[in-house]
Amino acid sequence: MDTIIEFKNASKTFGGVAAFKKVDFTVKPGEIHALLGENGAGKSTLTKVMSGVYRLTEGKLLFDGREVDFGSPSDALKSGIAMVFQETNLVPAMTVAQNLYLGEEKIFNRLRGLNIQARQFLVGMGFQVDPTAQVSTLGAAHKQMVEIARAVHHKARVIIFDEPTATLTPEEKRHFFNLLSRLVKQGVAVVFITHALEEALQVADRVTVMRDGEIVASGKAADFTRNSVVQAMVGRNLTETLHGSAQRTPRPYGEKVLSVENLSCAGLVRNSSFSVFAGQVTGMFGLVGAGRTEMAKVVAGAMKRDLFHGGEIRLFGKSVRYRVPRPAVMDGIVYVTEDRKLDGFFETMTAGQNLQIGELSNGDNPFSIVSLSRAKDLVADWGSRLKLKQISDKARMIELSGGNQQKVVIAKSLIQKPKLIIFDEPTRGVDVGAIVEIHQLISELADQGMAVVVISSYLPEILAVSDRILVVKRGRVVEEMMVADATEEKIMFAAVH
């Protein structure tokens, strides 16, 4: 038995447009198979067919040599195919343990037993997650761990991970990759979608690259280099790279737009002070969970009010304290969320309608009405600036690929014409080509005089976009440096020690 999954001449169309077409693709037991490609290439859709979310429009899917046609994800799971989705799929109002054993309600009755069992299981996987915690209180990384644990618990023979590592700390990543190698040793087949190309080449046995819904390259990981993958992905050589900061002269300090003094919040932010200046990009580096998101959310009024303990926030010297985002937006502060599915957009509306909502919320539209033609103009304009790719203008946000959703979230924030804009992990889930575009856009905003903050856990990104770098550790800004003086080692040292 050398293949467990086989697609033969397979296509999937939505409203007559192909998400992927005429695909031949195999997965073998005991291998890690990386699936790569630009945003909208068709990766998630292909794996969603394997896991029972969608059915093929044409062609065949074989599992264990037999043709299958799963009607639902639970059908696929019963056969032994589990998928950890790009956007988390857990039930927020339930605890970690309840999510882990979802569908096995008979053991729900013994709550204590359930929690003990869950704790043992999680510890065994090297995950530090409290089984009694409600999932809605968990950060992205921990949610991801619960999903991974769920797939493992179901003893799946094929496990598909859609961008699993984007939210993990280096330490958690190590655990995750160890876990993968344990799984494949037991004969499990792993399909692994990622935009972190070096990582993919390191851990994968085989690599398949998709472009515009077709497979353009496939083979042993050892036979690929980062460059050959990128070239296959985009069909040309990408000359721009992320690393280019050292030669760049940092932008000078403009007016002090924001100053935060002794901010404390819910034990996550502890007596933190920092300032942000106009016409500059301030990078905020820290490990996942360091408290960067919470600092940003307090500033932008996106944090629950009862969690705010104390400190002073000044915008252009004036003391402010926002309890909801709207007045912050009116004063020119916009926070671009890391958790796009939860609070980035309205998922049943189109991209154009979402952009229009961005426009309405800055009070610039004198009519305050939603018009179809305006939505169209906005999409045409921003869509071409950010190379938005969607099947049609009528597609709802949930029908867009993950990276394209992120682009809409960014565009929507820019339409609000902020004076201070805070990007939280702006390129998570975005492909190599689009990352360069988003970085360029961030750079232009600073050139136009905007105060820009970029929160990122990805060091090359911080070095590529920042003029000034703040390092955050355990709820506090612990170090500040200009990019010219910064090195990866220096920043990492400050973030960890």
Ligand X SMILES: Nc1ncnc2c1ncn2[C@@H]1O[C@H](COP(=O)(O)OP(=O)(O)OP(=O)(O)O)[C@@H](O)[C@H]1O
Under the binding rule (CB under 6 A), the answer on residue 458 touching ligand X is: no
Instruction: By CB under 6 A, name the one of 352, 383, 402, 418 that touches ligand X.
Output: 402
Count residues binding Mg ion (CB under 5 A): 4
Q: Is 30 helix (H, G, I), strand (E, B) or coil?
A: coil
Give the CA count within 13 Å in the CB-facing half-sphere of 330.
7
Read off φ and ψ for residue 147, nearest 5 degrees.
-65, -40
Q: Specify the stretch interacting with ligand X by CB under 6 A; choose among 67-75, 247-255, 301-309, 395-403.
A: 395-403
Q: Could you tell me how many residues of this chain bind ligand X (CB under 6 A)?
A: 22
- For position 216 contacting ligand X by CB under 6 A, the verdict is no
- If the CB atoms of residues 40 and 283 are measured against ligand X, the closer one turns out to be 40
Q: Does 251 bind ligand X (CB under 6 A)?
A: no
A 10 A CB-CB count for 364 gives: 12
- Token readout for 432 is 């190599």
CA-to-CA dists, residue 111 to 136, 228, 289, 373, 473, angstroms:
19, 52, 29, 54, 36
CB of 390 to Mg ion, least distance (A): 13
Which of 56, 60, 125, 54 is CA-nearest to residue 96? 125
Task: Identify which range of 63-71, 78-86, 153-161, 276-284 contacts Mg ion by CB under 5 A.
Answer: 78-86
Q: What stretch of H or E contains 228?
A: helix 226-234
Q: Which stretch binds ligand X (CB under 6 A): 342-350, 366-374, 385-393, 469-477?
A: 385-393
Q: How many angstroms separate the CA atoms of 155 and 419, rounded?
A: 51
Distance CA 186, CA 181 (A): 9
Q: What is the largest CA-CA distance in the chain?
A: 70
350 touching ligand X, by CB under 6 A = no
Which does residue 50 touch among Mg ion, ligand X, none (CB within 5 to 8 A, set by kind)? none
Establish if 44 lies at the interface with ligand X (CB under 6 A): yes
Q: Does 14 bind ligand X (CB under 6 A)?
A: yes
Nearest distance from residue 46's CB to ligand X, in Å?
Answer: 7
Q: At closest approach, how far in Å is the CB of 165 from ligand X?
A: 14
Binding flag, residue 83, ligand X (CB under 6 A): no
**One of 40, 279, 291, 418 touching ligand X (CB under 6 A):** 40
Q: Closest separation between CB of residue 417 and ligand X, Å?
A: 27
Enumerate residues 335-354 that contact Mg ion by CB under 5 A. none
Cα separation, 8 vs 201, whole angstroms: 25
Q: What is the end-to-end Cα distance of the chain in Å, rounded?
A: 49
Burial of 290 (0-12, 13-18, 19+ CB in 10 A): buried
- 160 or 296: CB nearest ligand X: 160
Residues at the site binding ligand X, with contacts judged by CB under 6 A: 14, 19, 37, 39-45, 86, 389-391, 395, 399-404, 431
Residues making contact with Mg ion (CB under 5 A): 44, 86, 401-402
